[in-house]
């Protein structure tokens, strides 16, 4: 089975490493300027040049059986054209929806999935009008090219709004969202095969710092029957609306009124890296199984599992040497805040797991920085401040 992955980051790396073990072959497609160190040695990397025809590209990729993606920021017209030559999963029309927050919100509204109060805004005037209706604090998120808290601005007070509007040079189409005071962040993760059968992983609890995922724990503790039924309801809504193939994450906030969907990730995702060590079948294998028409593997958790991200810290692999742990490094050059790797931990006891995760955070970041990271849950600021704080990494 030959598989091509659009993108050359760590998700492509982990997909290919898993696939090699299953006898699959890989090629990768990315832009001219993208760094491809993550996939070094795992298959040829084809650089896309504007104007290249789909047929030529398909041949350059080695005539794959299936094409998939490791990111949403891809040319969906090109993917649609490639469907003439091989399978492309998930369907480009689904990626097209998820790569734009406006389209994603329309989809959520149309299938009745509860989400945060929001409005589309395309100008300063529309922003002011939306703030009058939604109120402050709010978050302004660019419709495109926004992930891990990028291209997002926290508007807590009128002074923040004034600073933002005074400094904005070009207003890109955005979504203004109410800032939710959530109890925690939970991911619903499912895999669906070509035959329509699907399997759902246990709910995962995520902790973000400054908009970037820092830790995950699965199965998420304190899940009551109401949350479980909301999860089932959301899964059914997506499964009925989409002919989805592959792994899908539905990122949610748990609030006093239950789950609110924040965003969708139609691909393998950081919040499910714990599955590599703590689930019967990890997300990478299940994604490959799904897109290649194989039967899906079991999605049970094998205990209490945690994942700690290594953000912008090189040379940490020596200090991460705990029992029941597994280290993944992505072969990336270190830069402040950059995702360089992660550690998975498996215990049978949740308290023990949490102690070990805290120790792991201290080993990687040191005491003062851990305090800072823990205080910055879902952190957003106006751009200048965002830049200042990022130096802390």
- β-sheet bridge partners, residue 130: none
When binding is defined by CB under 6 A, the residue of 149, 219, 246, 341 that contacts ligand AMP is 149
Contact between residue 342 and residue 308 where contact means Cβ atoms under 8 Å apart? yes
Neighbours of 368 (CB within 10 A): 9
Residue 213, CB-side half-sphere exposure with 13 Å CA sphere: 26
Report if residue 104 touches ligand AMP, rule: CB under 6 A. no
| Residue 161: CB minimum distance to ligand AMP, A | 16
Q: How far is CA 89 from CA 31, 41, 44, 197, 212, in A?
A: 20, 24, 20, 15, 26
Contacting ligand AMP within 254-293 (CB under 6 A) = 262-263
Q: How far is CA 61 from CA 2, 43, 184, in A?
A: 9, 10, 42
Per-position x/- string for 347-376, each x denoting binding to ligand AMP as judged by CB under 6 A, each - no binding? ------------------------------
When binding is defined by CB under 6 A, the residue of 177, 254, 347, 363 that contacts ligand AMP is 177
Neighbours of 120 (CB within 10 A): 15
Give backbone dihedrals phi and psi of 264, rounded to 5 degrees, phi first.
Answer: -115, 145
Rounded CA gap, 28 and 23, in Å? 17
| Residue 207: CB minimum distance to ligand AMP, A | 8
Rounded CA gap, 237 and 230, in Å? 11
- In the complex with ligand AMP, the residue whose CB is nearer, 61 or 116, is 116
Rounded CA gap, 195 and 100, in Å? 28
Per CB under 6 A, the segment of 142-150, 281-289, 323-331, 364-372 that binds ligand AMP is 142-150
| Residue 316: CB minimum distance to ligand AMP, A | 24
- In the complex with ligand AMP, the residue whose CB is nearer, 12 or 116, is 116
- In the complex with ligand AMP, the residue whose CB is nearer, 14 or 116, is 116
Per-position x/- string for 203-242, each x denoting binding to ligand AMP as judged by CB under 6 A, each - no binding? -----x--x-------------------------------
Preceding peptide of 341 cis, ω within 30°: no
Report if residue 338 touches ligand AMP, rule: CB under 6 A. no
Report if residue 102 touches ligand AMP, rule: CB under 6 A. no
Alpha-carbon 102 to chain mean position: 18
Report if residue 139 touches ligand AMP, rule: CB under 6 A. yes
Residues of this chain that interact with ligand AMP (CB under 6 A) are: 116, 139, 147-149, 177, 179-180, 185, 208, 211, 262-263, 378
């Amino acid at each position: 089975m030959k598989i091509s992955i659009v993108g050359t980051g760590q998700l492509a790396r982990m997909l290919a490493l898993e696939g090699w073990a299953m006898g699959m072959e890989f090629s990768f497609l990315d832009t001219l300027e993208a760094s491809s160190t993550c996939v070094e040695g795992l298959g040829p990397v084809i650089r896309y040049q504007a104007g290249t025809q789909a047929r030529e590209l398909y041949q350059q990729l080695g005539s794959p059986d299936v094409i998939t993606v490791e990111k949403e920021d891809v040319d969906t017209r090109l993917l649609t054209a490639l469907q003439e030559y091989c399978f492309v999963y998930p369907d480009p029309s689904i990626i097209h929806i998820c790569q734009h927050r406006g389209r994603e919100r329309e989809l959520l509204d149309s299938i009745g999935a509860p989400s945060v109060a929001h409005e589309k805004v395309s100008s300063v005037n529309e922003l002011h009008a939306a703030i009058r209706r939604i109120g402050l604090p709010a978050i302004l998120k660019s419709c495109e090219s926004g992930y891990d808290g990028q291209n997002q601005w926290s508007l807590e007070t009128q002074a923040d709004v004034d600073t933002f509007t005074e400094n904005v040079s070009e207003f890109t189409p955005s979504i203004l969202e109410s800032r939710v005071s959530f109890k925690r962040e939970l991911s619903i993760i499912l895999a669906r095969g070509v035959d329509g059968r699907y399997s759902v992983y246990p709910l995962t609890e995520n902790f973000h710092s400054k908009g970037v995922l820092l830790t995950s724990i699965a199965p998420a503790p304190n899940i009551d029957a109401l949350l479980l039924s909301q999860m089932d309801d959301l899964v059914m809504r997506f499964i009925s609306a989409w002919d989805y193939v592959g792994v899908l994450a539905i990122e949610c906030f748990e609030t006093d009124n239950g789950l609110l969907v924040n965003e969708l990730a139609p691909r393998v995702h950081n919040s499910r890296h714990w599955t590599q060590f703590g689930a019967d079948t990890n997300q990478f294998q299940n994604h490959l199984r799904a897109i290649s028409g194989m039967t899906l593997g079991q999605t049970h958790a094998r205990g209490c599992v945690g994942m700690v991200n290594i953000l912008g810290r090189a040379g940490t692999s020596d200090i991460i040497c705990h029992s029941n742990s597994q280290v993944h490094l992505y072969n990336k050059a270190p830069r402040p805040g950059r995702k360089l790797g992660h550690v998975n931990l498996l215990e049978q006891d949740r308290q023990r797991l949490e102690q070990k995760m805290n120790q792991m955070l201290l080993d990687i970041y040191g005491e003062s920085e851990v305090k800072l990271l823990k205080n910055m849950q879902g952190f957003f600021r106006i751009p200048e401040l965002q830049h200042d704080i990022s130096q802390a990494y």
